[in-house]
A and B are shown apart, each in its own frame.
Chain A
């Protein structure tokens, strides 16, 4: 059982009392759960296929060639066609499809021509299709998932580096602090966008998509950790000079014990307060990079890529930009609300006399 100290519990209670932030948190958490089980909701693979008395669950397994279900091709089964076929031929075979039976990569052009289709419930394209007839809902959904995962990993990495270096600077001070401050000043003046462009122009194309995403993450982290160090440095400086640290030192506590057991818990509120805003920044950054064409490699679904398509087809397919923009606004608003609520509930000025 997680044992929180009464201070923290009090803060959490206050957080819960800030309705806007709390509900935003619940909404986002709910969305998170949906995103985790996304393959069950939005996917071209069927949930369950009953064929010749046997049940198949293709969602998470290896692909089933058409021949598995009595079709005449040995590439991946088209479950939507399979369903129609089973329904037509009667019999006991049936297919249960997810709510949105499309994956974010496939082109599904009911009219036979690749062009954006307006939202159409009868085709189950609830938000329409993009310029190559890919389902927008599916692309938004998986794009959001990638953006969120990306943002979380990004935040974790930035925090890890920022906290380590910031704490060390504040705690050890002196020459170490001086040198690192200068390094950070120089480093943070390197233009981030140009670096991304330059680095991506020299990465050999043989690199897999996942590696490219990893490299993008790495580049973004490398140019973003500096901001965190300033806060950590000042916080650590402040805490270090307090009496309880002095007493810990007198007792003979080691540096690592002092940092991790005494200083860290006391600067936690700073960290927590910044976290949602770091996430917002990460989502915006990855979207902006995608929009400019330097972000996630094609054909990875992404919000920025949809926005780009949307602005290019503003007149002919407004639903693309509406969906993408709406999602982005909703997502960023939720995270920002949560961030504000956290800041408010963790703010010592309002809720404590002395800390």
Chain B
């Protein structure tokens, strides 16, 4: 589970004042005293278990319900290719050095975390990238008791942490204590793990059950995707947790570890494959996690990163932006034509990040729905799609596209139409054009808003919108901010119009509470009689960027959250999306129905690789490095020999 709050897409964490990290010759020198045995935190943990007997259950195997249907979904296809070779070093680049090696607590939700936990660590089970069905991870088998919101799991007795300690039921109990402890300084985790779950029980060393608070369609996933925390590693915990574990790598259940000698702060960091990884022969893991070593160097500048890729210093470069796909590495590029660099497009079908304009309805003029409708009609996304994305991307229709049934089947976004925009602005009293062509109302107020963004590489999108909006008499002043500054701004609700998106995880159904509930907009949005509270204050630090507050929506959200019936939830979801559309506080922008990448010939992907729910090429670790091919390619480059060019499109999941 990850905190959506700070999951800003494309957030390159720019360390503004940095530049000179300490090189830390002795590795992660801060030295957590993990070896120290003794009192530590154990007594505190046990006291906590004892104080919460409802939450932490200690039972015997005899207590297991007799009629459980154990399963392990053996029918699911393997992931990756049998041709994959283990070995070699993959070279990659990071925009910024990770600020910590912790996976929880301040600064931990950075772009390196997937390599420490999310894409590498093991849960009880994992979702198959094609069907989202569960396949076994740490659990050999599991059983779901839908009536009691409980999942049962049998841990694989072979499972061990990277330091050799076995993974047992105790690590799962400890995980709940850990995420609920105040030491980790992560209120979101504290809250999530105390409200989403109501019980964890230990039956023996390798059998547990987890009970969820609500019976949701994805209840089983909430329980089974959980990853444990190594209790033996965190014997010592206190208020200095965040500093003490800042640069220590927690033993992992996954295939890759970070060794102390590979941490060169500010410069590079490497993952090393465990030769004797316990899961290396398991069905869904044996063809994955192939390179022996993944070496990340810090290259702060994207242009430099690309040059490093062209030199062959890094093996792969994401080419999602049209500028890179068509201009910087066109199909006609000599290295592509010579077959040294391969280009691939992978289509996918998954929840789409809602790129668009988030209009702050708490701002004076933007309270007026007519103006918001006008803005929607005055933004020319078609031109953005055509001229900036070159027709590769598609128009987003609502803020919740890509959720299957839960997305609205027919609703379409408001189209660019100057006449409709002007009609809407006229209804709001903006009828005259000023000397510069911008609309004015009778009070002499100009129709001018600040359009901000934290996406520096998408600034041209805003330039286009600004030019086109001027035709409808709307002035959009642009503000391109550093990603963290921009994020801070919307979190404090100081924006007028903000161009951004939220990272979307592979979830079964969309979340509405975060973005549209009045609790996240105002401290007390409505008075008891249902009227708008005149003294209400903005609630900052929430994801309700539109300051969206409608009582009808609140009621729908409550019903949606309480609902356990899938059909009812779908109907409610459609109704809420309509209501959101009606409110016109979000101008849907675009989505990219694929990801694409360029990689050197020696970096291999399985033949015909295409996973429906994959969001990026590397996240499943199905690629491998062919060292023979690398030698061959480099020799060929020297000798001027060429290979067959390879430009592939994996469009099995094209929409």
Contacts and interface: CB of A to CB of B under 8 A. Distances in A.
Interface residues of B, number: 41
Contacts of B489: 205
A312 B304 CA distance: 8
B378 to A, nearest CB: 11
A299 interface: yes
A204 B494 contact: yes
Interface string A104-126: 01110100111110000000000
Contacts of B463: 107, 132, 299
Nearest to A63: B437
B20 to A, nearest CB: 15
Interface in B386-410: 386-388, 390
B464 A63 contact: no
Overall SS of chain A's interface: loop
Contact of A73 (B471, B478, B479, B495): B471
Nearest to B387: A114
B436 interface: yes
23 contacts: A62-B436, A63-B435, A63-B436, A75-B437, A75-B472, A107-B464, A107-B467, A109-B387, A112-B387, A113-B390, A114-B464, A116-B327, A197-B16, A201-B485, A205-B450, A205-B452, A205-B479, A206-B450, A293-B482, A297-B479, A298-B480, A312-B303, A316-B327
B460 A114 contact: yes
A98 interface: no
Interface string B459-500: 110011011001111000111101001000100001110000
A206 B459 CA distance: 18
A131 interface: yes
Contacts of B387: 107, 109, 112-114
Contact of B479 (A62, A63, A106, A298): A298
Contacts of A75: 418, 437, 470-473
A216 to B, nearest CB: 14
B17 interface: yes
Contacts of A314: 303
Nearest to A208: B477
Contacts of B437: 63, 65, 75-76
Contacts of B386: 112-113
Interface string A275-314: 0000000000000000001000111000000000001111
- Sorted nearest first, the 4 A-B pairs with minimum C-beta distance are A62-B435, A75-B471, A312-B303, A63-B437
B375 to A, nearest CB: 16
B306 to A, nearest CB: 9
A209 B466 CA distance: 15
Interface in A204-230: 204-206, 208-209
A315 interface: yes
B328 interface: yes
Interface string B295-312: 000000011000100000
Interface in A241-264: none
Interface in B253-310: 302-303, 307
A116 B328 CA distance: 11
A92 interface: no
B379 to A, nearest CB: 15
Contacts of A109: 387
B369 interface: no
A114 B321 CA distance: 13
Contacts of A65: 433, 437
Contacts of A204: 494
Contacts of B496: 205-206
Contacts of A63: 433, 435-437
B464 A298 contact: no
User: Which of the listed residues A65, A194, A297, A312 has the most CB atoms from chain B within 10 Å of its own CB?
Assistant: A312
Interface of A: 62-63, 65, 73-76, 105-107, 109, 112-116, 131-132, 194, 197, 201, 204-206, 208-209, 293, 297-299, 311-316
A260 to B, nearest CB: 43
A131 B460 contact: yes
Given A194-B17, A205-B495, A298-B459, A114 B388 contact: yes
B155 to A, nearest CB: 49
B303 A311 contact: yes
A63 B470 CA distance: 12
Interface in B51-102: none
Contacts of A107: 387, 463-464, 467
Nearest to A201: B485
Contacts of B323: 115, 131
A209 B485 CA distance: 18
Interface in B191-241: none
A51 B477 CA distance: 33
Contacts of B470: 75-76
B418 to A, nearest CB: 7
A116 B460 CA distance: 12
Interface in B352-374: none
Contacts of B478: 297-299
Given A112-B387, A299-B466, A314-B303, 15 more contacts: A62-B435, A63-B433, A63-B435, A63-B437, A65-B433, A65-B437, A73-B418, A75-B437, A76-B437, A76-B471, A107-B467, A115-B326, A115-B327, A205-B450, A297-B479
Interface string B416-436: 001000000000000001011
A142 to B, nearest CB: 16
Nearest to A66: B471
Nearest to B303: A312
Given A62-B436, A205-B452, A205-B479, A105 B467 contact: yes
A76 B495 CA distance: 28
A222 B158 CA distance: 67
A106 B467 contact: yes
Contacts of B326: 115
B300 to A, nearest CB: 12
B460 A132 contact: yes
Nearest to B388: A114
Nearest to B307: A315
A313 B301 CA distance: 12
B290 to A, nearest CB: 32
Contacts of A76: 437, 470-471
A73 B433 CA distance: 13
Given A75-B418, A114-B387, A131-B460, A209 B436 contact: no
A313 B418 CA distance: 35
Nearest to A316: B327
Contacts of A194: 17
Nearest to B484: A201
B240 to A, nearest CB: 29
A63 B438 CA distance: 10
Nearest to B457: A312
Contacts of B466: 299
Contacts of A106: 467
Nearest to B435: A62
Contacts of A116: 327
Contacts of B435: 62-63
Nearest to A107: B467
